[in-house]
Amino acid sequence: MIINNLYPTALINPKAIANKLYIVSGYASATFARRHIVELLAINNDFEINLIIGMPNSKSDHLAFVALHNEFGNNFKGYYYRNSAPVHCKVYSWYNDDEPCIGYTGSANYSQYGFFTHLQVNQLNHDDPIQIKSLFDDLLTRSTYIPNETIVLPLYHRTPHIGSVLPSKIQWEIANKRVRISFLDNKGILPKGSGLNWGQRLSKNTNKITGKITWSQREPNQAYLSLKQDSRKEGFLPEKAFTFSLITDDGHSFDCVVAQDGRKAIHSTKDNSEIGKYIRNRIGVSLGSPVTVEDLERYGRTDYTIEKIDDETFLLDFSV
């Protein structure tokens, strides 16, 4: 029985002898799949992950899974099992083309909670890769390709918007689940070199040999969502090393992480300009331009809402 180092043992190291992975997992998270894909790509791009998610109602991060297909279509294929009876299996089968290599079964879902033991203790056992692949093939006949599935966010995921919270303040709409956070500081100002305008400041560069200091322009759309007061606490948002899918009320998805000293920011993991471009496009500000309080007021709100859907999926509601 394997209880330590599940992630490298079952999901990374077999890449040395195999290039196709077949997974059936009751629950799976898109942010974990992204991490796995990126780490395998760092080895080489000769691999294919095939995933069946067995719980028919486990679709909270559907938008993030669709984004994975759009970005990594040659390396990732995901499916929803669509029979009424859920599948709770957690099985992993590695093949090298058509040759079976190694298989694992156990309690570890394809998620951060499943594979990182400081978050949750799970176990895997060696098992027959051929039998696991046969199970995958059987379930595949009753599964839907994720990009072909249409998921509509429930109406409760669009929170009624009445005014904005006061500058620098937050408002818990549902304790530890949904919070509104002001973009503004305690003077009612939108910072010129942080938050939505992070990319508007210059970067300091110090030559390690000569000590000479130079300044360079950052990518001007870089931005982060500023966290205030106890919206920063663990138990609501994840710990700093823990990535999560941030879906939006208008159908976008970002892979994100809590960052900076004091857990004061939400960063996008792929590109620090993703959130900045999204906000600028949504409120009608030209890309590369600073965002002002007046821009937010013209759009209709100076705050945003974060809602916890599950441990690895959060909703950004910026509707008006």
Q: Domain boundaries in the chain?
A: 6-148, 155-317
The tens-digit pLDDT sequence of the chain (320 residues) is: 998 999 999 999 999 999 999 999 999 999 999 999 999 999 999 999 999 999 867 678 899 999 999 999 899 999 999 987 889 999 999 999 999 999 999 999 999 999 987 778 899 999 999 999 999 999 999 999 999 987 766 544 555 566 799 999 999 999 999 999 999 999 999 999 999 999 998 777 777 788 777 767 789 999 999 999 999 988 899 998 799 999 998 889 999 999 999 999 999 999 999 999 999 999 999 999 999 999 999 999 999 999 999 989 999 999 98
| φ/ψ bin of 5: left (φ > 0), alpha (ψ from -120 to 50), beta (otherwise) | left
**If one looks up domain 6-148 in CATH, what number appears?**
3.30.870.10
Give CA–CA dist 268/42, Å, rounded: 20
- Total-model pTM: 0.85
CA 41 to chain centre: 18
| φ/ψ bin of 224: left (φ > 0), alpha (ψ from -120 to 50), beta (otherwise) | beta
Dihedral of CA 27/32/37/42: which sign? Answer: negative
Token pair 């990374």 is at which residue? 12
Give CA–CA dist 117/273, Å, rounded: 32
What pairing do the DSSP bridges indicate for beta strands 253-259 and 243-248? Answer: antiparallel
